[in-house]
Structure 1
Amino acid sequence: MKKNNGFSLIELMIAVSIMGILAAVIYPSYTEYVAKGGRADGISAVMRVANLQEQFYLDNRQYATDMNDLNLGADPFVTDTGLYSVDSTGTTSFIVVATALGKQASRDSACITIQINDIGEKSPAECWE
């Protein structure tokens, strides 16, 4: 009786091909998941600035003309993760726009800009889901 130690070449090729198929299915889902996670950062920043604009309006009866008026420092300000740059302008109305930067811009090409205005219109709609 001959004792068999190890794997045959066919067994190894089957295992490698199964891993290749799994990777081909999993990788696109993973990149979409990462893009949506980054997009949540952009949406959060846009909502924060819109809230600050409304607070500024209550105090001054006009919207802030730049981000310095909202005590956010830089104009435009960059989110903590560095994935989005957020800018807002206004006097009688405002628009807050988050623009994807770096990797996020290439990962999430459908939602490079996310915006909201003073009456709550959000665009593009598919980015807010």
Structure 2
Amino acid sequence: MKLKNGFTLIELMISVVVIGILASIAYPSYTQFVAKGARADGVAGLMNAANRQEQYYLDNKKYTDDMNKLGLGADPWIVENKFYSIDAVVVNNSDFTLTATAKGTQATRDSACASITLNAAGNKLPKECWK
């Protein structure tokens, strides 16, 4: 009797099914992790812009909607990872709202946080995007 080394077709198909099940579980978790990481850069950009707004207010007694005047170099300002653009809206020179808008693939993979806002009073919306 000869010993045959190798895999049968059934063994191979079972291995493929197991790998497919593991991949179907892991991929959504991975995309959520990547989206949350990119969102963190957008949130950090909002905090940076808010700090610069407050410094600008101390120097000029008013807020600005021009990101160039805040030293960010562009209007709207694109954060470092290029997944969010940040723009400011100023009302009566005494109140501002900063909005981070998701761009590209971030807008589709993190649709719940496609737009994140922060205002002069410190209100952060949507709440779940700031965790």
Q: Which residue of 2 aligns with 1:121?
A: 123
Q: Which residue of 2 aligns with 1:52?
A: 52
Post-superposition CA distance 1:17-65 (Å, at most 9, x none): 0000001100110111111011001101000000100111111111123
Q: Which shows bigger deviation, 59-68 or 90-99?
A: 59-68
* Identity within the alignment, %: 56
1:120, 1:73 → 2: CA distance? 24
User: What SS class does the counterpart of residue 49 from structure 2 fall into?
Assistant: helix
User: What SS class does the counterpart of residue 67 from structure 1 fall into?
Assistant: coil
1:120, 1:12 → 2: CA distance? 57
1:96 aligns with 2:90: no
1:42 aligns with 2:39: no
Q: Give the alignment's TM-score, normalised by structure 2.
A: 0.95
Bigger share in helix: 1
Consecutive unaligned residues of structure 2, counting only runs of 5 or more, are none
Q: Following TM superposition, where does structure 1 have runs of at least 4 consecutive aligned residues deviating by more than 3 angstroms?
A: none
Q: Structure 2 counterpart of 1:125, which letter?
A: K
Q: Structure 2 counterpart of 1:80, which letter?
A: E
User: What SS class does the counterpart of residue 68 from structure 2 fall into?
Assistant: helix
Q: Structure 1 counterpart of 2:65, which letter?
A: T
Q: Which residue of 2 aligns with 1:22?
A: 22
Aligned length: 129
Q: Which residue of 1 aligns with 2:114?
A: 112
2:124, 2:39 → 1: CA distance? 14
Q: Which shows bigger deviation, 60-69 or 26-35?
A: 60-69
Q: Structure 1 counterpart of 2:94, which letter?
A: T
User: What SS class does the counterpart of residue 55 from structure 2 fall into?
Assistant: helix
Q: Structure 1 counterpart of 2:124, which letter?
A: K
